[in-house]
Chain A
Amino acid sequence: MAAHLSSGRVNLTALREAGRRELREFLDKCAGSKAIVWDEYLTGPFGLIAQYSLLKEHEVEKMFTLKPGRLPQADVKNIIFFVRPKLELMDIITDNVLREDRGRSPQRDFHILFVPRRSLLCEQWLKEQGVLGSFIHREQYSLDLIPFDGDLLSMESESAFKECYLESDQTSLYHAAKGLMTLQALYGTIPQIFGKGECARHVANMMIRMKREFPGSQNSIFPVFDTLLLLDRNVDLLTPLATQLTYEGLIDEIYGIQNTYVKLPPEKFAPKKQGEGGKDLPTEPKKLQLNSAEELYAEIRDKNFNAVGSVLSKKAKIISAAFEERHHAKTVGEIKQFVSQLPHMQAARSSLANHTSIAELIKDITTSEDFFDNLTVEQEFMSGIDTDKVNNYIEDCIAQKHPLIKILRLVCLQSVCNSGLKQKVLDYYKREILQTYGYEHILTLNNLEKAGLLKPQTSGRNNYPTIRKTLRLWMDDVNEQNPNDISYVYSGYAPLSVRLAQLLARPGWRSIEEVLKMLPGPHFEERQQLPTGLQKKRQHGENRVTLVFFLGGVTYAEIAALRFLSQMEDGGTEYVIATTKLINGTTWMKSLMEKLEPVPF
């Protein structure tokens, strides 16, 4: 079930196990039969920790989605709410509790499990509604870092970027620090901490403080990680704005990957059997899980999309040949051998069929004129061309009322690549956007300005060209098929964040002091003392392990770039990636937009 978590350099199954243990312990506190009422957002992340079977073993008989009104009938002793600490959810819970039939017998007991943390604010809110007392257990389940894959952890906290950079609310940073403490408890103290950015500084401070205040956390586990690198998302605002061009990145850009699942249009996945001709075509989207448990996906996910077709066709040939072998199987032994391989071959075939279909779907889009035009403009901006004037393509897109998020991504990209826009240009874009999409978007534009994504050029200086040249962010001779540099993930642009990680490993940040100063926030280094005996003696040729934590989100293309560095033969460093949320330009923009519909509750 979770074998893919142990495939990497660090065995993340242990983290998943710890999560399962904590969940079991809580469930056993509420003795007797149970029903769980789910905050729907949580089912995805929880699914990565436990299946229904685990809950069932602990007497969970029914599960419902949290919604206002009366709770469904269920003859259980306990009703447990699994929720994020959000006020609007507290209102729904209140409604549920108040409508509980008090005449029923036996009475049902209520409990709340806050994920990832109890909130005094929420409890006060429940108290104001007069229902706080109805809950016997009010606990927290610190689902801080959820293992997504053998080298990937996410907190799946949607609003983390907005809270950190717009509202200066550091709660998610506190959770990040907590998550890192949990990791250290399982995998040993991380001796070296590097960081860049305000939030990174905060997290490092919190970790050091927590370690000091809970001396019990001093453990005797041999450290698995050599280095922790904390990176603020606002150090590199550029990368998520660009369209990701890796296979996995494009799937996410186009269809959106949620908790490792993607929903795809069903047409290309029609039932395969001919005998069922009369059956209707499926109308519900096809849902697939995407992770390294699938051999083929692990091989192609991080490739530039232009290199995916050839791999798929090679695989097809291999599988065909393998099936052909049945004709050559003469002896009983040979036939037996063939049959024993059948299940594996069938899985491989099915996997190939799925990815061929997905690749076709994506290709329809990447070959469209508009995709090409959009990419052209992005690449112009990133390579520093015409960033200081109103762009025709953006103007055209507004006139044709393309989705607002697309416009915002492009305008922000231009702004970031020019260290802010000339006031005249900025005013022009603003006016066009407000007139075409509605004046109320002035609130969103304001948010983007506060986050530093869209701003007037104040210093009168454009630092981006210096940063681009020093960090070699634009590579002209990119090789998409057999890449030799991380820039392949955006077909030319090397993600700034990953370049920083790469340069830290070799030759060290001292070489880029000047540029680091141009990027926002402090950069720093901390060391955590290890007890003697735990200090590592590196075997010759053994790679270092670095945990890169992206505060405010990371894209699949950046992950691909780090994996590429891990696999470089003379790289010397393997990377594990952690983040507050897996993002792409669209989901990121959405999280920064003002909610224009009043919240109904």
Chain B
Amino acid sequence: MSRARADEEEYWHSSKFRAFTFDDEDDELSQLKESKRAVNSLRDIVDDDDDDDLERVSWSGEPVGSISWSIKETASSNTSSLEGRDSSIQKGSSSYAALPKQASSYSLSSLFKGRNKLPSFQSLSDAFSDTGVKNYAPELRRPKAEYKDYSSDWSPKDTVRRMQRGKVCSLERFRSLQDKLMLLDEAVAGHDGNVITAVLIFLKRTLRREILFRELEVRQVALCHLIHFLKETGEQKLLLDLLRFLDRTEEVALSQYREHLNIQDVEKRKEFLKGCIGLPFSAEDTSHIQDHYTLLERQIIIEANDRHLETAGQSEIFRKYPRKASILNMPLVTTLFYSCFYHYTEAEGTFSSPTNLKKTFKIPDKQYVLTALAARAKLRAWDDVDALFTTKNWLGYTKKKAPIGFHRVVEILQRNNAPVQVLQEYVRLVEDVETRLNLATKYKCHDVVIETYRDLKDRIQLTAYKCKVERGSAEEEKINSILNN
């Protein structure tokens, strides 16, 4: 599979491509050490009273006097008094929260209406003056200057310019479709997304849907802004209508599919995903969505079953290795690992059996073997590992084969702390001699090293290796006997 390590090194040394290596490894390291030493030795010399940096930095790291540091400082003096007041807060806020509901009943887009009328505000502030609340008598306190703005007859261009400067403008006087579109085009030409969006909100409110869609279709920039705006404000239905109108079917599908993330209940999520299968995705994506649905369906069945087994306490594997988390909403490969861990021996007919998963989702051999190997190695089920790589030919001879390469097998076993006896069996099967020697040396599989040198008839290396094995051990004897022959 992956290029053998040795090959790689040779490749780098021989090829013209430069890897990011530290050629003078030791030198480089010693340079760092040297500067470290120098730094340390200087500590004794210097009085360390102010041994910190150029700038004062508190340990949390914020420079003293910086804004984020000050937030903590100024806020911390308050916390105690805040807690004491919590109970009274609760009482106060419940009646309080009801108030603004009235406010939302008047036309929301009156933001763009003339402010001199303000009938709803009037009544709202009246309501407040009864209770003596001054804070909610809102617009009355706005600076006078802003009231003047909408009385005059601004052209679309002027209106857009004013809006760009953050001034409030009335858009209501743009009544005809033509005027409205001129306004929109002017806003688009100004490139200020803020203004474009404001105009779009106005058009969305005052134009029939079909007309709005039709006009936006030929105004791509404005269209993008509206789509972004609808996404941001969560107006899913209108968004889907618009995308459908534009024949952007794949986007409709994806946008709808995205919704599943907001559904917490797994049963509902499953049903929702089922509904997504028929959406107009690309062919490739359709199969993924189908798989997503099938997987969740399986997980729900497995989860119910296993939770039962676990609480009943009769299954040994669950007693010995209690589950850390539910399998719901986990990726496919994680699910496969889970099933190789808890349900390895099950017949193919059950939903939770690894072979069933492999078949249903067409998991490639490599992926399957890797996952099964990791799961069985974790359980130290070495016989299963052995079986995973054993194939029988028609004469009944057995043969070892690994679709992922035996060097990978060794790595995974080693990571799961396999004993040397197990490990060396697979090191021996690594085909490339160089890699085999490297792995064997690294993981102290002495027998493999010795046999390999023997086969290579490399006396020098073999002699050198003698110092790596224990004195008086069987390995040393073995080396001696080979050297003597």
A residues sitting closer than 8 Å to B (CB atoms) are 38, 43-44, 46-47, 50-53, 55, 61-65, 70, 72-74, 85, 87, 98-103, 107-110, 117-121, 123-125, 127-136, 139-140, 163, 167-171, 173-174, 177, 202, 205-206, 209, 213, 245, 261, 263, 272-273, 282, 284-289, 293-294, 306, 309-310, 312-313, 315-317, 319-320, 323, 326, 342, 345-347, 349-354, 356, 359-360, 363, 366-367, 371-372, 375-376, 379-380, 383, 385, 392-393, 395-396, 399, 401, 427, 430-432, 434-440, 442-443, 446, 476, 478, 491-492, 594, 596-598
Contacts and interface: CB of A to CB of B under 8 A. Distances in A.
Contacts of B48: 272-273
Interface in B31-57: 31-32, 34-39, 41-43, 45-46, 48, 50-55, 57
B163 interface: yes
Contacts of B50: 346
Contacts of A596: 261
Given A168-B221, A393-B2, 15 more contacts: A46-B67, A47-B67, A55-B67, A102-B96, A120-B194, A121-B201, A173-B191, A284-B61, A349-B42, A351-B54, A372-B20, A375-B19, A375-B20, A376-B19, A439-B292
B421 interface: no
A136 B141 contact: yes
Residue among B41, B69, B135, B262 with most chain A CB within 10 A: B135
A53 B41 CA distance: 38
Interface residues of B, number: 127
B233 A87 contact: yes
A30 to B, nearest CB: 13
B331 A360 contact: no
B104 interface: yes
B20 A306 contact: yes
B295 to A, nearest CB: 7
A116 B47 CA distance: 46
Contacts of B465: none
Interface in B67-106: 67-71, 74-75, 78-79, 81-82, 85, 89, 92-93, 96-97, 99-104
Interface stretch (B223-231, B237-245, B425-433): B223-231
Contacts of A286: 59, 61
A134 B135 contact: yes
5 contacts: A287-B57, A306-B22, A434-B332, A435-B333, A439-B291
Contact of B35 (A167, A315, A491): A315
B289 interface: yes
A171 B82 CA distance: 40
List the 9 shortest-distance A-B pairs measured between CB atoms, nearest first: A133-B138, A287-B61, A130-B103, A171-B193, A130-B100, A316-B38, A168-B224, A316-B35, A52-B70
Contacts of A102: 92, 96, 131, 133, 135-136
Nearest to A343: B50
B28 interface: yes
A245 B229 CA distance: 39
Contact of A52 (B65, B163, B228): B65
Contacts of A385: 17
Contact of B41 (A177, A320, A350, A597): A320
Given A289-B55, A396-B1, A478 B32 contact: no
A356 B32 contact: yes
Nearest to B229: A121
Mostly, the B contact residues are helix
Contacts of B309: none
A460 B194 CA distance: 41
Contact of A53 (B12, B65, B163): B65
Mostly, the A contact residues are helix
B104 A130 contact: yes
Nearest to A476: B16
A432 to B, nearest CB: 8
A109 B136 CA distance: 10
Residue among A64, A371, A430, A431 with most chain B CB within 10 A: A431
A321 B111 CA distance: 71
A177 to B, nearest CB: 7
B370 A399 contact: yes
Nearest to B273: A439
Given A51-B67, A130-B102, A396-B1, A120 B198 contact: yes
Interface string B182-210: 00000001111111011001000000000
A356 B38 CA distance: 10
A173 to B, nearest CB: 6
A323 B43 CA distance: 11
Given A70-B89, A171-B192, A316 B198 contact: no
A129 B233 CA distance: 14
B35 A356 contact: yes
Contacts of B308: none
Nearest to B41: A320
A169 B195 CA distance: 12
Given A51-B66, A346-B50, A98 B100 contact: yes
Contacts of A306: 20, 22, 28
B193 A132 contact: no
Given A130-B102, A323-B42, A51 B65 contact: yes
B289 A439 contact: yes
B467 interface: no
B166 interface: yes
A309 B31 contact: yes
Contact of B36 (A55, A285, A350, A360): A360
B68 A44 contact: yes
Interface string B118-151: 0001001000000101111111011000000000
A99 B370 CA distance: 56
Contacts of A437: 331
A43 B35 contact: no
A64 B71 CA distance: 5
B191 A170 contact: yes
Interface string B264-285: 0000000000000000000011
B220 interface: yes
Given A61-B74, A124-B201, A437-B331, A316 B28 contact: no
A320 B42 CA distance: 7
B21 interface: yes
Contact of B18 (A287, A323, A476): A476
Contact of A99 (B52, B89, B121, B408): B89
Contacts of A121: 194, 197-198, 201, 229, 232
A380 B18 CA distance: 10
B192 A133 contact: no
B331 to A, nearest CB: 4
